Copies of this chain bind each other. A is one copy, B any other.
Amino acid sequence: MQLNKESITDAAISLLNAYGLSDMTMRRVAKQLEVAPGALYWHFKNKQELVDATARRILAPLLEPDVQGRVEKRNAQDTCAQLRALMISHRDGAEVVSAALSSPTLRTELETLIAGALDTPDEIGAFTLLHFVVGAVLAEQTQLQLQELTGEEGEKVDFEQRFSTGVQIIIVGLDAIRDIR
């Protein structure tokens, strides 16, 4: 079978879920595909591009239009919750998305998505929400896998509750500040 971006991203995702981001190396991806490491560089300019593609794959359900050819309209609370759910559903998902956020196009897509989900679309509101969401899930996943390693000690935190409260704080603040600004 011929190599292409899709199959390479498939392999990357499977390595990610099996062993984590630090083991998602170009060489291991190549080995999984039974191909020389250099082969990947015909399809991706560098590793950053593969990480970007991996992040896009993780967020695909939110980014891609559905079968009817449109992205379903949701409210901001739901959009953020789904963003979190998608990142959580993959090992090191938030780390991958955070790394890919340096790509201006993905960042803009996500900001636009969130802005559109707000009652009153707002650039700064979307910016604030996006960076809270990614930061919070990053912290959540880091803490969880630290607990797994050290042996499960640590107060149980209701991450979902904490997350949605944070989102609500920002949404409420956004409404309250619009009059002042």
CA distance A135 to B102 in the complex (A): 11
Given contacts A168-B177, A169-B170, A176-B176, contact A128 B132 (CB under 8 A): yes
Of the candidates B142, B162, B168, the one whose C-beta lies within 8 Å of that of A102 is B142
List A139-181 residues whose CB lies under 8 Å from chain B.
139, 142-143, 146, 154, 162, 165-166, 168-174, 176-177, 181
CA distance A134 to B94 in the complex (A): 14
A139 cross-chain contacts in B, Cβ below 8 A: 101, 107, 127, 131
Number of copies: 2
Cβ A127 vs Cβ B131 within 8 A: no
Q: How far is the CB of A167 from chain B (nearest CB, A)?
A: 9
16 contacts between A and B (CB under 8 A): A98-B98, A101-B142, A102-B142, A102-B146, A124-B166, A128-B165, A130-B135, A131-B131, A131-B135, A131-B166, A132-B135, A132-B170, A169-B170, A170-B170, A173-B174, A173-B176
Q: Give A residues with C-beta under 8 Å from B.
A: 98, 101-102, 104, 107, 124-125, 127-128, 130-132, 134-136, 138-139, 142-143, 146, 154, 162, 165-166, 168-174, 176-177, 181
